[in-house]
Amino acid sequence: MNKKKLQALIIDFKQYAFILLAVSVFLYIGVTLPDQGKAEIYDNVLMITTILCLISAFVCFKTSLKYKKQIDQIEEHK
């Protein structure tokens, strides 16, 4: 891959990670709000979805770092 494509991928994956973090915050707020008449399954689903979003954000950040290291290696060889 060339440098421009790698930089675009880095930006994309960072944006995905920040969006996933924002979604997980809103989902967690939904878990912490008082639940009057709400079934317990909703809290479980929200918490599982929050954890999945956080894991996905972590994977996106790691992928972004992987591409950053590839750019650094390309620049070292020049």
**Cα–Cα distances in Å, from 59 out to 18, 50, 68?**
12, 14, 14
41-56 pLDDT, tens digit each: 888 999 999 999 999 9
State if pTM tops 0.85.
yes
Q: What is the pLDDT of residue 78?
A: 72
Q: What is the pLDDT of residue 14?
A: 97
Asked if 60 and 13 touch (Cβ cutoff 8 Å), the reply is: yes
| DSSP calls for 24-68 | HHHHHHHHHS--SS--HHHHHHHHHHHHHHHHHHHHHHHHHHHHH
